[in-house]
Amino acid sequence: MKPKIYITRKLPDLVVEKMREVCEVKMWDKEEEPVPREILEKEIQDVEGLYCLLTERIDQPLLNLGTRLKIVSNMAVGYNNIDVAAATEKGIKVTNTPGVLTETTADLTFALLMATARRLVESSDYLRAGKWQTWSPMQLTGQDIYGATLGIFGLGRIGEAVVKRARGFDMKIYYHNRSRKLNAEEELGIEYVDKNRLLRESDFVCVLTPYTTETRNYIGAAELSLMKPTAVLINTARGGIVDEEALYQALKNGELWGAGLDVYEEEPVRTDHPLLSLPNVVALPHIGSASKNTRLKMALLAAENLLDGLRGEIPKNLVN
């Protein structure tokens, strides 16, 4: 008998077909709407494999219902939406999709950095709103990127890929990480500094750490107060790593020059969120890995991990 699986969002046919060959597949059939919790609670009781997105909270009460569950495959590199400890305790495998989205997410991180520094969104809106009456010396002026100092929190795959882009802009690059990476320091010409020095000396600070209990509000009021008033903060990791209320105050009071955000504490972010009222915030709807090729690769990799787990093999991207 084929193992039963549940997929929490409508995926491209190509990806679903791969799983149908060996599984009995049920799938939430909407693309733009997450599966309601009560449906997920029901479906999980019946399956050995769960294919989910970062929009689903896979917590202990839910896992308790999955009495036949062998594997939860997350179509994302981040897996803070899953209670991994609870899964481990029940012998349920958890997998993610690292690697395939590294370059695409680094591209977006750098794009957001540039858009924020040079006020691209605000400038485009200015033109479209008919406010462009003349060229003037200090109109819509921003911050230089070329030759500036970049500080990266979290030198994982994506962090290293951002460094490569920054080197093309002759940036001076600092990083801070749980562990030092001596090879990367030598190969990429970057310098390890402590958290406070990174904050004090960087013109751009990129947040690229995983979201865990240790990194919750990792950037709060105290950290923001160390940053230069001309500095820009970029977050393409997870919203909860930056204290949004503190960030709002710092940006509003001119303690920080700008912020580029792709992620929020609560997603989708509400359009009346205070941060969205500020002109010096460039806000994107969590599109870090959103290229056509990369999203397809992530979807296929998550399928592969799921199938490996169901066959009793060790999936390539096991996290527990």
For residue 174, give both structure tokens.
Answer: 């600092």
What is the arrangement of strands in the sheet containing 258-261, beginning at the earlier edge strand?
191-192, 172-176, 149-153, 204-207, 232-235, 258-261, 281-283
Contact set for ligand GLV, span 290-319 (CB under 6 A): none
Q: Is 220 in the site for ligand GLV (CB under 6 A)?
A: no
Is residue 57 annotated as a catalytic residue, yes or no?
Answer: no
Contact set for ligand GLV, span 241-270 (CB under 6 A): none
Q: Is 76 in the site for ligand GLV (CB under 6 A)?
A: yes
Residue range at the interface with ligand GLV (CB under 6 A); choices 26-34, 35-43, 56-64, 152-160: 152-160
- Which of these is catalytic: 267, 270, 311, 313? 267
Measured distance CA(182)–CA(185) in Å, rounded: 5
For residue 204, give both structure tokens.
Answer: 């751009």
- Which of these is catalytic: 9, 165, 286, 295? 286
Q: Is 190 in the site for ligand GLV (CB under 6 A)?
A: no
Is residue 311 annotated as a catalytic residue, yes or no?
Answer: no
Is residue 31 annotated as a catalytic residue, yes or no?
Answer: no
Nearest approach, Cβ of residue 211 and ligand GLV (Å): 9
Would you say 152 or 256 has its CB closer to ligand GLV? 152
Q: Is 158 in the site for ligand GLV (CB under 6 A)?
A: yes
Q: Is 157 in the site for ligand GLV (CB under 6 A)?
A: yes
Measured distance CA(98)–CA(92) in Å, rounded: 19
Would you say 280 or 294 has its CB closer to ligand GLV? 294
Is residue 229 reached through a cis peptide bond, with omega within 30 degrees of 0 on the bond before it? no
Measured distance CA(103)–CA(200) in Å, rounded: 28
Measured distance CA(159)–CA(146) in Å, rounded: 18
* Secondary structure (3-state) at 112: helix
Q: Is 34 in the site for ligand GLV (CB under 6 A)?
A: no
- Which of these is catalytic: 165, 176, 238, 295? 238
**Which of residues 8, 81, 289, 294 is near ligand GLV by CB under 6 A?**
289
Would you say 158 or 259 has its CB closer to ligand GLV? 158
Which of 75, 23, 73, 13 lies closest to 46 in space, CA to CA? Answer: 23
Distances (CA, A) of 15 to 33, 51, 301, 318: 19, 11, 9, 20
Residues engaged in binding ligand GLV (CB under 6 A): 54, 76-78, 98, 101-102, 156-159, 208, 288-289
Residues classed as catalytic: 238, 267, 286
